[in-house]
A and B are shown apart, each in its own frame.
Chain A
Amino acid sequence: DTGVSQDPRHKITKRGQNVTFRCDPISEHNRLYWYRQTLGQGPEFLTYFQNEAQLEKSRLLSDRFSAERPKGSFSTLEIQRTEQGDSAMYLCASAGTQGTDTQYFGPGTRLTVL
């Protein structure tokens, strides 16, 4: 059973550009989460999907951020008009069908906005 994968692992972009990250969860997991982690801090929740439905969004998820999970499998997180404050590690996690199931994390995508 493969784990959660994320692509790319690193992304460097210039301020104002759009970026998109991909997350492939563990195959039988229908719950998918995105978190953001800045230097020296713990991860912070961004958004949650159950199958293809986006059921919860944090207030951290500004209108420049959009996430999708079109067929309930992989998910994408897009940031439009990137700002230097968006520089962070973006982590994806997946969990089984029960809300109480443990979340397993991918390796993350490290974004640097110049």
Chain B
Amino acid sequence: AQKVTQAQTEISVVEKEDVTLDCVYETRDTTYYLFWYKQPPSGELVFLIRRNSFDEQNEISGRYSWNFQKSTSSFNFTITASQVVDSAVYFCALSESGAGSYQLTFGKGTKLSVIP
């Protein structure tokens, strides 16, 4: 069965520091999809990035970058030059091609606090 582990429960950084959020996943599928969502205090889950298991390169989108390592089943997410508005709970999620619904399996989340 699929599983997502976010070992970091809470992280605090000072504004403008870089921060990396860790995610480790388990799946038996060879084709799968990984996501990061942000949940601010308002409660709405906001989609940030996705990575398909068959993509070749890691990418950067603005202040966000991600590092996908198939060999270690990790999908880490980095925010560069953090801002107070980045304070939120961040969830890593996995979707498998073998599940017809492509339902998301989430980790327990990492609460990020950016201190001004």
Name A residues whose Cβ lies closer than 8 Å to a Cβ of B.
31, 33, 35, 40-45, 48, 55-56, 89, 91, 93, 95, 99-100, 102-108, 110
Question: Across the interface, do B103 and A42 meet the contact criterion of CB distance under 8 Å?
Answer: no
Q: What are 24 A-B pairs with beta-carbon distances under 8 A?
A: A31-B102, A33-B103, A41-B109, A42-B93, A42-B106, A42-B107, A42-B108, A43-B104, A43-B106, A45-B101, A45-B104, A48-B101, A48-B103, A89-B43, A91-B45, A99-B97, A99-B100, A100-B33, A100-B95, A100-B102, A105-B44, A105-B46, A106-B44, A108-B45
- Report A65 CB to chain B, min CB distance, Å: 16
Question: Across the interface, do A107 and B42 meet the contact criterion of CB distance under 8 Å?
Answer: yes
Known: A33-B101, A106-B44, A108-B43. 6 other contacts (CB 8 A): A41-B109, A42-B109, A43-B45, A43-B104, A102-B35, A108-B44
Interface pairs A-B: 8 shortest CB-CB: A42-B106, A105-B45, A48-B101, A99-B102, A45-B103, A56-B101, A107-B44, A108-B43
Closest residue of chain B to A89 (Cβ to Cβ) is B43
Tell yes or no: B37 within 8 A of A by CB.
yes
- Mask, B57-101, CB within 8 Å of A = 1, is 000000000000000000000000000000000010101010111
Which B residues lie within 8 Å of A35 (CB)? 104
Question: Across the interface, do B102 and A44 meet the contact criterion of CB distance under 8 Å?
Answer: no
In the complex, A43→B106 CA distance in Å?
6
Question: Across the interface, do B43 and A110 meet the contact criterion of CB distance under 8 Å?
Answer: yes
Which A residues lie within 8 Å of B97 (CB)? 99-100
Which B residues lie within 8 Å of A31 (CB)? 102
In the complex, A56→B52 CA distance in Å?
23
In the complex, A102→B49 CA distance in Å?
9
Which A residues lie within 8 Å of B108 (CB)? 40-42
The residue among B43, B50, B52 with the most chain A CB atoms within 10 A of its own CB is B43
